[in-house]
Structure 1
Amino acid sequence: MDWLDHSLMGKKGVAAGVAGAAHSLTIEDQKTFHYVYGPYADPVLEVDPGAVVTVETHDAFEGKILSAADKPSEILQFPFLNPQSGPIHVRGAEKGDALAVRIISVSPRGPQPVGTTCLIPEFGGLVSTGQTAMLNAPLPEIVKKVVVDEAGVHWSDTLTLPYEPFIGTIGTAPEIEAISSLQPDYYGGNMDLPDVAPGAIIYLPVNTPGGYLYVGDCHAIQGDGELCGVALEIPATVVLQIDLIKGHGNAWPQLETEEAMMFIGSARPLEDAARIAYRELVRWVAAETGQSEEEAYMLLTMCGKVRLGNMVDPKYSVGASILKRYLV
């Protein structure tokens, strides 16, 4: 039996994890991309739970960096970065529910070299920024264009990195705020967590009727922390299966794979992001296993794992997880 049958989506989803009608959302269909997560945009697509949606996304730069000779500071207009496809309205979704989004595939899209990474002035994990203001001069602007296919990331003539795609920015609309797509928070957003990858299911809190799912900012590969502030950004074709869990009630994103369960927290300082993620995981483990929260707390001291998403955005993201085999 497939592990999906035993997943939260399979056990609790309105569609019980069964694939429903197929939909497509192309660049041409989208027309206008969004730079905030919020409830005020008109949905570009309305689907029933179970829908399988193929979405075309731009890279984080909306395709504006074309060559290694380009200077991001001259081409990009902050804060109009991280263009998002959507929002997708899911029928029946209400506040207190969760969207269950199974990531089926993430494929590079467009002419080669399709991948872009770069150094941007006063942006990154090891440089001065607006929040950590220093007198030293910014690093030089450097752009690297990379051929990416599903066989690998062709970094140089002598080095091919693995193709390890994931969705950098995915989430639902906040209830009242309109928040930059550069920022992660309780609704998801720009978490830049490599685990949000094909084969995983992410559970996102519904804060407004219809949920309003946004997606964009796909990456071909990224190390923990997204160290220089930019991963290998790619335009992509993403296939998602979207279900709905009524009354799920989680306040923060939850991610499930065949082997593990994870919660994702976003905050500054970094330790607060880890605390959020672990607090949510402690509470879930206790509820799932019937242990007290104190017992679950001690269990996670023994076998909890932490994954660093980004340490460069307005808020940092951390995933805290436990292997399912310990949930007895």
Structure 2
Amino acid sequence: MTTDLTDWPIAAAMLPVSNRLPDGSPLQTASAEQWHPLFQEIAEAGFDHVDLSDNCFRPGDMPDDQLDALASVIKSARLKPSSISVVRSSVIDEHHGDDHLAYSHRSLEAAARLGIGTVSIGLHRPLTEAQRRQLWFWTVAGHRDDPDDRAQWQKAVSRIRELGQHAAELGIVLSLEMYEDTYLGSADSAVTMVEEIGLASVGLNPDIGNLIRLHRPVEPWLDAMRKVLPWSNFWHAKNYMRDEDAERDHYVAFPAPMESGLIDYRQTMKLAVEAGFRGVICLEQYGGDGLSVCAANQRYLRDRVLPACRHVTPGASRVRQPRRD
């Protein structure tokens, strides 16, 4: 157990990285020499793993030779690619669902070529124009999946099951990101979906941070964690300060370091170990010097939180956990 704790894969998300170079050209099609400083900076911040968030890179749209070049650059920075996060590409999008399904399949193939054992997807949609105008996009409601549309629910189950079967064939785990107002927008709904999909290769990404930041009433974070952690296999971890006064219908939230926000990650990590979670922890941060905040969050986890888990008896997860290299 000590080895698992000390060697736990903790990755930097690439959310703080622009998908454009200073001259405005796409990062996706840049040269290896132009990519290298980005990964070197992540390594110098103290990380040895990186999550390829597709807001920055889209591995599923890269040909094999470009994937090989990307792998070489990451290795030269002394990093390991731990995961691919596919965001805002819902497979049940009414207009682009077929394209998103195909892209998700390509992302799984890209992960296999890169030696990555985890791919995270979700049902959330692109930001609306109103959301893009905000300082914090989560202060305005976006798309809502219809909870009463059983045909749409079953379409999600069927398409994600298809992806989960593909992932299993490749030796990869598929993780479903929790996100408000989608079929993965509450603990109960997310667990029900994974149960209906019914594959060990498909679990949850318990990104409760996505929920506690909403400027409206939310389910208690600890109750949600207790429900979803036994089904979790990857984790977008972040925290938010939150203030609420239900009598005045007042709710405010903004990003915070992991140790300072509403979610108690010391308690939550103990629950995760107890529930059998062994997945990659991907650190995210909006605003400010995101990489430095994530680096401080990694030190908080390694220096204080994970050592506090050493007396926790590891449990058995309800889903398969990713392989450890």
TM-score (norm 2): 0.26
- Greater strand percent: which structure? 1
- Greater helix percent: which structure? 2
